[in-house]
Amino acid sequence: MKITDQARDLLDQLIEDSGGGCLRLYFAGYGCGEPDIGMTISEPEADDELQHINAIPVAIDKKILHLTEDLTIEGKQTMEGPKFQMTGLPEKDC
C-alpha cells in the first residue's frame, strides 16, 4: 500500500484535528460481489493490523488486508475540504 505525499499531508492534519487515532481501512460490505473498503480516522480495533505508511499510522482490518497490497491513497484539497481516492483495487464486474 502507498500513501501519496499530498494525501499524507492532508491525513496528518485530519488526525491532528481529531485529537489522535489513525487512518483505519475496514470492510464496508460488498459491491458488485466484491468487498468494499471503507476509510476513516479512528482508533484501531482488535482485529486490525497496524502499519506506518509514509509517516501515517494505518490500521487495516485483517479481512481486507489482501486487498490493500496494490492500493494507493491519493488526496487533494478542494473547496469542500480534503478528498481522497483509492486506486489499485481489483476490478469489479457490475
> Each residue of 4-19: pLDDT tens digit?
999 999 999 999 999 8
Q: Is the pTM of this model over 0.75?
A: yes
Domain layout of the chain by residue ranges: 2-87
Using a 10 angstrom Cβ sphere, with 0-12 exposed, 13-18 middle and 19 or more buried, the burial of residue 17 is: exposed
The CATH code that applies to domain 2-87 is 2.60.300.12
Q: In terms of pLDDT, which residue wins out, 48 or 32?
A: 48
CB 74 within 8 A of CB 84: yes
Phi/psi for 40 (5° steps) reads -150, 170
